[in-house]
A and B are shown apart, each in its own frame.
Chain A
Amino acid sequence: MSVVSRWRSLRAQEARLGWALLAPTLIIVFGLVIFPAFFSIWISFHAVGLHNLNDVFHAPFNGLENYKRVVTDFAFKYHSIQNMGAALTSIVYSFSATLLALIGGLVAALLLNKPFRGRGLVRATFLFSYVAPIVSVAFVWRWILDPRPSGVMNDLLMRLGVIHAPMAYLSQRGLALIVVILLDAWRYFPFAMLMILARLQAIDKSLYEAAEVDGANVWERFRYITIPELRFVLGAVFLLRLIWTFNKFDDIFLLTGGGFGTKVLPILVYEFSFRLRDFGRGAAAAMILVAFLVVFIAVYLRFVMRSEEEA
C-alpha cells in the first residue's frame, strides 16, 4: 500500500467521521426546517384545508388561486392611511420598531461605554426585557396599559395632567400600532445595545485623543469617529432585527391579537391557516411574506451595505 493511498484513506475516514458526527443535527434541521420550507411552497399552490390535511400529498393543484385570494383579501389590501392592510402595516411596523430599537440600543451602549461603579449590574439589568418570556412581558404591559382609569399608565398620565380622560392604548386604531412599535423597541433594544457596546469597546482610544488634540468637541468626536466606526455593526444589526421583526408573530398576537390596525403578515398567515383552516391560503400569505424579506435583503445588501463599503 503506497503512502499516498494510505493518506487518502485516512482523509476519507476523517470525512466519514465528520459527516457521522454532523448527521443528527443535519437530519433534524433539514427534516424539520429546510424540507418544510420548500414543502410550504408546494402547499401554497394547492387547495389544502382541514378535510384533506391527512392526505396532503393528493391535494388538488389550484395554481395561483391561493395567492389571488390573499392579495385581494380585505385584511391584506391597502384601504386608507387609517386602515393600511397587513402588507403595509408589516412594513411600517418592522421598519419603525427596528429603527427605534437600534437608536435605543445606541443610546444605552453610549451610556455604558465609560466605566463606572455598578456598570456590570446595570448592563445585566438592561437585558431583562430581552431575556424575559414574551408572554409575561406582553401581559404585564397589557395590564399597565389597561384602558380603565385604574390602569397605571392612565393613572400616571392623568395625575401629571398629560391626558384628561383614560385612553385605550392597545385598542384604538393608529395609537395601537404606535404603542406596539414602542413596546417592541423596549423589548429588543438590549440586543442592539450588546452588539454596539462590543464594537464601541474595541474602538482605538488614540483616535479620540488625537481628535481632542485637534480641538474636536464631543459631538464632532461622536460624528466623525464613533459613527463611522460603528457603521458596519449598525448596518448588520438593523438588517438582522428587521428580518426578525418582520417574521414576528408572538408580540403583536399577545398584545392586540392583531386587531385595531396592528394586523401584520405573520398574524394574517396564522388566521388564514388556523382560524379559517385554509392552509393553502396561509402558505401563500407566508410566501408573500418571504418575498418581501428577499426584496429587503437584496436591496439592503446591494445599496446600503455597498455604499458603506465605499464610504
Chain B
Amino acid sequence: MRDRENILTYMARRMNLGKIIWLLTLTFFLVGVLFPFYWMVSSSFKTQREIAGRHPVYVPHALRLEAYKELFDPSAPHFQDFGRNIVNSIKVSVPTALIAVILSVLGAYAIARLRFKGKELMLNGVLAVYLIPGVLLIIPLFAMLAKIGDAVGFEVQDNLGVLVVTYLAQTLPVALYMLTNYFRTIPDEIEQAALIDGCNRLEVIWRVTLPLSIPAIVSVFVYTFMIAWNEFLYAFVFLNSRQMFTMPIKIQAIFSDPSPRPHVVMAASTIMTVPVVLLFLVLERFLEEGLTAGGVKG
C-alpha cells in the first residue's frame, strides 16, 4: 500500500491532471489502433490447437508456420496456392498505378499549365466521381462491358484487365486532382526558360516538371496502388474462378470455408497488410500531404 501511495504522490508531483489525461487518452488510442494488428500478426503464427482452444492465446508459444504452410506449401492439407493470388493482386495493382501516374501527369500538366476553356469545369466534373457510389456503377458497368466484350471478343468475368480499367476510372480523378495542385506550386518561369531554350512541351514535362514532382508522383503511385491492392467489391463481382482471385477475394473465400481456420485467414491478411503499412510508413511524409490535399476516397 505504501509503495502505491508513493508512486501516486510522485506522479502527482511530476505531472498535473491535464498531462495524466493526455497520457491516458494517448494510450487508449495507441492500444486501440495497434491491438488488432498485433492480434492479426500473432494469430498468424498460432497452430490450429491454439486457435481452437477454450481460451484465447495472447502470445503464441512459438513462431509456428502452420498457417503459412497451408498458404504456400503444396504438400500441406488444404493447400491454398496463395502465391497465385499474390501474383494476381500485383498484376492488377502495378499496372493500375503505372497507367494512372502516366495519364494523370499528362492531364494535370494540361490543366495546370495550358490555357484553354473548360479545364476548370473538367477538373471539378471529374471530381464528382467522388460522390457516385461504387454499387451504383457496378450494374451498368457489368452490362456495358458484357456488351463490349461480346463485340470485341473478351470475357468480362475473370479478366484482370477489366479490373485494371475500372480501377483506373476510380483512381484517375484523385490522381489528376493531386497532381494538378502540385504542378501549380512549381514556378512557371523554370518551364518557360526550357521552352525558350527550344524544348517542346513533352520534353519540358519529361526534363523539368517530372524531376521536380517526384514526391507528388510517388504519392499518386502509392495511392492508386493501395486502392487497387485493397479493392474488394469490383473484384468480388468480376472474378469467379479461384485461379483469378486477387488477395482480398481469396481471403474472403478462405474465411467462408466451412471448416473455419482463422489462423490461415490472419496469415493471408498479414501478407496483404504488411507491405501496404510498411510502404506507408516509409513514405509517410510524402503521403500525408497528398491525403490532406487530395482527400483520398476511403
Contacts and interface: CB of A to CB of B under 8 A. Distances in A.
A36 B141 contact: yes
Interface string B123-141: 0011011111111111111
B39 A140 contact: yes
A22 B111 contact: yes
Interface in A86-143: 107-108, 111, 120, 122-137, 139-143
A61 interface: no
A56 B143 contact: yes
Contact of B136 (A131, A195, A289): A289
B276 to A, nearest CB: 6
Given A188-B298, A290-B133, A122 B251 contact: no
Nearest to B170: A33
A150 B53 contact: yes
Nearest to A187: B298
B138 A273 contact: yes
Given A133-B230, A149-B54, A150-B53, A143 B281 contact: no
Interface stretch (A37-45, A72-80, A208-216): A37-45
A178 interface: no
Given A11-B115, A143-B262, A293-B131, A132 B37 contact: yes
B103 to A, nearest CB: 5
Given A37-B136, A131-B226, A133-B272, A15 B115 contact: yes
A139 B252 CA distance: 9
B295 interface: yes
B140 A39 contact: yes
Interface stretch (A167-175, A242-250, A301-309): A242-250
A25 interface: yes
Given A17-B110, A132-B273, A186-B32, A247 B262 contact: no
A152 B143 contact: no
A32 B166 contact: yes
B29 A108 contact: yes
A67 interface: no
Contact of A19 (B116, B129, B237, B255): B116
Interface residues of B, number: 93
Nearest to A37: B132
B26 A111 contact: yes
B135 A15 contact: no
Interface string B257-298: 000001001100110110011001100100010011001011
B100 to A, nearest CB: 9
B1 interface: no
Contact of A22 (B25, B122, B230): B122
B176 interface: yes
A38 to B, nearest CB: 8
Nearest to B288: A194
A261 interface: no
Looking at chain A's contact residues, the main secondary structure is helix
Most chain A CB within 10 A, of B143, B265, B277, is at: B143
Contact of A144 (B39, B114, B295): B39
Contact of A150 (B55, B226, B251): B55
Interface in B135-177: 135-144, 146-147, 150, 165-166, 168-170, 172-173, 176
B167 to A, nearest CB: 10
A110 to B, nearest CB: 9
B143 A48 contact: yes
A144 B36 contact: yes
Contacts of B7: none
Nearest to B104: A25
Nearest to A143: B262
A39 B33 CA distance: 41
A254 B252 contact: yes
24 contacts: A17-B201, A18-B119, A24-B103, A25-B103, A26-B122, A28-B169, A32-B168, A35-B140, A40-B136, A108-B29, A111-B26, A124-B280, A124-B284, A131-B276, A131-B280, A133-B273, A136-B269, A144-B35, A150-B55, A194-B288, A194-B291, A253-B233, A273-B138, A293-B131
